[in-house]
Amino acid sequence: MKKFLFSSILILGVSLSAQAEDWTFFSKDNKNRTPNYGVAVIGGSSDLHKHDSSGSLHGVEFSLVCPIVQASEHTIRQNISLTHFNKDSFDMYSLEANPHYLYQIEDNTYFGIGPSFGFTKVEGDDTVAHLGLGISIRKDLTEKLFIGAEFRKVYATESDYSNGRFIGKVGYFFNK
């Protein structure tokens, strides 16, 4: 119940903040026209419900400023990740899209929240769809280098493959 209450309050706060902004869709006058491409190596752990324990998670993430929709005060950054989970010879590969609504909380530091949508290929032939919600923090070390962390809760169509993830990131921006 506490998790549900916390999640609800967090989503309500972001929703109210987002309503106060002017939104731009498919506009050439968008303040964030430059996509600011980035790539990151990601790693961490995932608590897979099926195994009731953690396993290692690693992969790569490609990101860019969303070219379709932007807010007047904040940025929406689209993250696309490919990850591999391993626990006692059990393997799972996930491909996900994770748009994050980013708040600048201080110079070069950003807090983000957003949904995740994706597919997971489980050992054998099972492929499951999943939805989730993630919160992140990113610190730009230089104009090109950044570090970050994310917690993501993922709900799969097969509940055995639902999981919680803690992810660390080290990345590079190509055209910031």
Mean pLDDT of 122-149: 91
CA distance 40 to 169: 6
Q: How long, in residues, is the chain? A: 176
State the pLDDT at residue 51.
Answer: 58
pLDDT in tens, 117-126: 999 888 776 8
- Close Cβ partners of 147 (under 8 Å, ≥ 6 residues apart): 138, 139, 141, 168, 169, 170, 171
pLDDT in tens, 32-84: 557 889 999 999 998 877 656 688 899 999 999 877 777 767 888 899 999 99
pLDDT in tens, 1-24: 445 544 454 454 444 444 545 656
State whether residue 23 is helix, strand or coil: strand
State the pLDDT at residue 18.
Answer: 45
Q: Which two tokens stand for residue 168?
A: 């660390």
State the pLDDT at residue 123.
Answer: 76
In the chain, the domains with their CATH numbers are: 23-173 (2.40.160.20)
- pTM of the prediction? 0.78
Q: What is the rounded average pLDDT for all residues in the chain?
A: 81
